[in-house]
Chains A and B, each alone.
Chain A
């Protein structure tokens, strides 16, 4: 058990060192409060995509469902990769 804990701790530390910008596993991003910097932690997210999400939120109001991301043309191609990493609260 001790070995397993040590292995997990090492793995988490290693991933945080190797991929500093990525979202830690288990932490989901709230689309209604996320900043551009927060969004940039999502896989395959670019500045243009992050700004498009913020622009959509500003023009149509807060997200009601995560599925709304599919309406943003810049984000649609990566929707499948990010939908499980975000929430709407």
Chain B
């Protein structure tokens, strides 16, 4: 094995260990305390919405909980994926739809400063909606999966 190859392998291993530790940390800091998924209609537009509560499980305040929603087909494969935040940190999310480009956005640092942190043990609502127009028609999704991908 060349020195270069060994170095590459070590770097990959280190990255995997770090990534694993980061994921474990996110799960340790916050949890999804309650979750539901249902179809909703708003002004004639149809959405599939996952909602519920996240809870700060740590002993320190946390600024946000970032969640990933996956719509899964019958085989458990993701057919659509999107990201959302707890309600107090929703400003961190992306603005979509008509006129989204006209919305003046603060820098992520400024937005983060304005967010009210979740106290230890505190719960906060989350809602992640997907327009029916954006959901693939085939294969049809049969269930959803939510996971916490980042906590800060």
Q: Which residues of A contact B (CB under 8 A)?
A: 59-62, 64-65, 67-68, 70-71, 88
Contacts and interface: CB of A to CB of B under 8 A. Distances in A.
Contacts of A62: 137
Contacts, number: 27
Contact of A64 (B38, B41, B140): B140
B38 A67 contact: yes
Interface of B: 38-41, 44, 46, 48, 132-133, 135, 137, 140-142
B132 A61 contact: yes
B73 to A, nearest CB: 11
9 contacts: A64-B48, A64-B132, A64-B137, A65-B141, A67-B38, A67-B39, A68-B39, A68-B46, A71-B39
Among B44, B140, B141, max chain A CB count under 10 A is at B140
A73 to B, nearest CB: 10
Interface of B is mostly: mixed
Contacts of A60: 46, 132
A61 B46 CA distance: 10
A71 B46 contact: yes
B137 A88 contact: no
Contacts of A71: 39-41, 46
Given A59-B44, A71-B41, 17 more contacts: A60-B46, A60-B132, A61-B132, A61-B133, A61-B137, A64-B48, A64-B132, A64-B135, A64-B140, A64-B141, A65-B39, A65-B140, A65-B141, A67-B38, A68-B39, A70-B39, A71-B46
